[in-house]
Amino acid sequence: MKTPHILIVDDEPNIVMSLEFLMRKNGYQVGIARNGTEALAAIAETPFDLVLLDVMMPDVDGYQVCRQLRQRPDRAATKVVFLSAKSRDADVQKGYDVGADLYVPKPFSTRQLMEKVRELLAIGPP
């Protein structure tokens, strides 16, 4: 059983650092992208099991990253979790419309986030 590989995508260094620490502490391999362009490059290179994705980023936003990820048949098993300060119903709905598995509003509880990540990774491919 290989260690799940998680990509953290956020333009806020403190969030990246805390999430990276949390995921590594829980035994996951971690990749980091600081914007949407880096995220798409990382996704093209590596079949991540799960992507923790910020919505609001300066270049390519999280919605676009998710949409492009979902267009890749070779990444069909990748789970996408949006982490966003945009928590209006319309924003959340848009997240699910572009293919998110989960939408978590910021600020979030790291304990709850870990539970959700474990659940999503335990489900495996459809």
- Mean of pLDDT values over 76-93: 94
Q: Please give the model's pTM, rounded to 2 decimal places.
A: 0.94
- Mean of pLDDT values over 97-116: 94
Query: CA neighbours within 13 Å on the CB side: how many for 120?
Result: 24
Query: Minimal CA–CA distance to 31: which of 55, 3, 57?
Result: 3
- Mean of pLDDT values over 87-110: 95
pLDDT of residue 126 exceeding 60? no
Taking CA atoms, 62 is separated from 35, 59, 103, in Å, by 9, 10, 11
3-state DSSP call for residue 105? Answer: strand
User: Could you tell me how far CA 99 lies from the centroid of its own chain?
Assistant: 11
CA dihedral 37, 60, 43, 100 (to 10 degrees): 170
Q: What are the pLDDT digits (tens) for 17-68? A: 999 999 999 999 999 999 999 999 999 999 999 999 999 998 999 999 999 9
The larger pLDDT score, comparing residue 108 to residue 31, is at 31
Confidence of residue 123 (pLDDT cuts 50, 70, 90): low
| φ and ψ at residue 3, rounded to 5 degrees | -70, 130
CATH class for the region spanning 5-121: alpha beta
Domain boundaries, the chain: 5-121
